[in-house]
Amino acid sequence: SSLTIGLIPADGIGREVIPAARRVIEAALPSSVRLNFVDLEAGFELFQKTGVALPEETVRTCLDGGVDGAMFGSVSSPSHKVEGYSSPIVALRKKLDLYANVRPVASPAAALGKKIDMVIVRENTECLYIKSEKIEKNPDGTRTAYATRKISETASRRIATMAFNIAQKRAGLSNVLSVTDGLFREVCLDVWKNGNNGDFKKTVRMDEQLVDSMVYRLFREPEKFDVCVAPNLYGDIISDGAAALVGSLGVVASANVGDKFCIGEPVHGSAPDIAGKGIANPIASIRSASMLLSHLGWSAEAKKIDAAVDRVLLENPAQLTPDLGGKGTTEQVTQAVIRHL
Ligand code: NAI
Ligand code: MG
């Protein structure tokens, strides 16, 4: 068999952690697999050089089957508005219709005193992130700003279906829903009751939670949660909060998933404060590579990678990178993971 993976390191530490993920993929797959990597370009640095942040060729290669899936590193987004620039990962999610952002948040029991193992399934295409804003002047001269929030039945249904499918493969389920999110809630309940020929209801326990109390419970009893489904904005807040529970952004993985394509992507950004020093934690990218492999049907190999990462996290704290309190380098952590494979 064969497997072709696109690599889009983009900016900053993306250039350090994506090569690490590549080496782990090479080590994890059986040598009988014909494994190819295709280097693809994107990013703010590319934009500064060429005026293009996301080349047509990168999009086409992903769209037309040139690669089976891809890994994305991280982009540097300028803090001020730069004429002609918009985020290439946001554009890729849109162009490839990667409507779900799936974020596992996990930590082996011994590392924190309790075992955290949950998956947050965040809607990736609408909510407040459609960026439809306006500002009006009031008769008294002050201004009022408005943002439109879009929640569609179609997008809610497909994200709920994906979340229940993930939950069905695991144990229980807790849902994050707000009463004000009437439609999202209604569709999620409908998918739970009637989806998959009634099978979701038989196999998955469902709880709803307002987003504020969800955040509270997440911090008090993170071990209770298994799968959370949420609209875009809540999902963003909950998943960044959950990342704090497991020690460092450097270990939190994600996958952008659609019906036709998947992009593994560490949750962190380009980390300009440590870029180029060789100390970026590669674990977020390695775990994202494992999610990509699992999505592409290589679940045994993905499990092997996750187990190797867990062993490295528990083995010797000093060999971990500085974000986890160690003295190790990107290279040493990558080698340790490969050794455990
Ligand atoms: P960041 O995630 O890049 O860094 C936050 C802090 O975490 C920094 O102290 C950094 O050194 C540390 N950190 C992050 N990843 C790490 C790793 N793998 N190993 C060790 N330490 C790690 O977020 P920040 O600083 O807010 O943003 C920097 C740039 O990245 C900005 O231009 C921002 O727009 C962009 N960004 C891009 C994202 C993406 O590509 N999806 C997501 C978040 C930010
Ligand atoms: Mg975020």
Separation of CA 236 and ligand 2 centre (Å): 5
Query: What was the ipTM of the complex prediction?
Result: 0.95
> Comparing C-alpha atoms, which of 200, 204, 178, 180 is closest to residue 191?
200
CA distance 201 to 206: 8
Whose Cα sits closest to atom 44 in ligand 1? 269
Query: How many angstroms is it from 340 CA to the middle of ligand 2?
Result: 31
Domain boundaries, the chain: 1-98+258-341, 106-251
- Domain 1-98+258-341 matching CATH 3.40.718.10: the answer reads yes
The Cα 255–Cα 155 span in angstroms is 17
Pocket test for ligand 1, best of 45, 270, 324 (most atoms within 8 A of CB): 270
Give tens-digit pLDDT for 23-72: 999 999 999 999 999 999 999 999 999 999 999 999 999 999 899 999 99
- Homologous superfamily (CATH) of 106-251 is Isopropylmalate Dehydrogenase (3.40.718.10)
Same CATH fold, 106-251 and 1-98+258-341? yes
Give φ, ψ of 138 to 5 degrees: -85, 160
What's the whole-model pTM score? 0.86
Q: Among 7-11, 52-56, 103-107, whose mean pLDDT is lowest?
A: 103-107
Counting atoms of ligand 1 from 1, which one is nearest the CA of 44? 32
Distance CA 30, CA 341 (A): 11
**Closest to 103 (Cα-Cα) out of 248, 221, 264:** 264
Residue nearest to atom 37 of ligand 1 (CA): 269
Residue closest by Cα to atom 27 of ligand 1:
269
At 79, the amino acid letter reads S
Which ligand does the CA of 75 lie closest to? 1
Average pLDDT over residues 312-328: 93
pLDDT digits (tens, 9 = 90+) for 121-137: 999 998 888 888 999 99
Nearest CA, atom 36, ligand 1: 269
Q: Which of 56-65, 72-81, 177-186 has the highest mean pLDDT?
A: 56-65
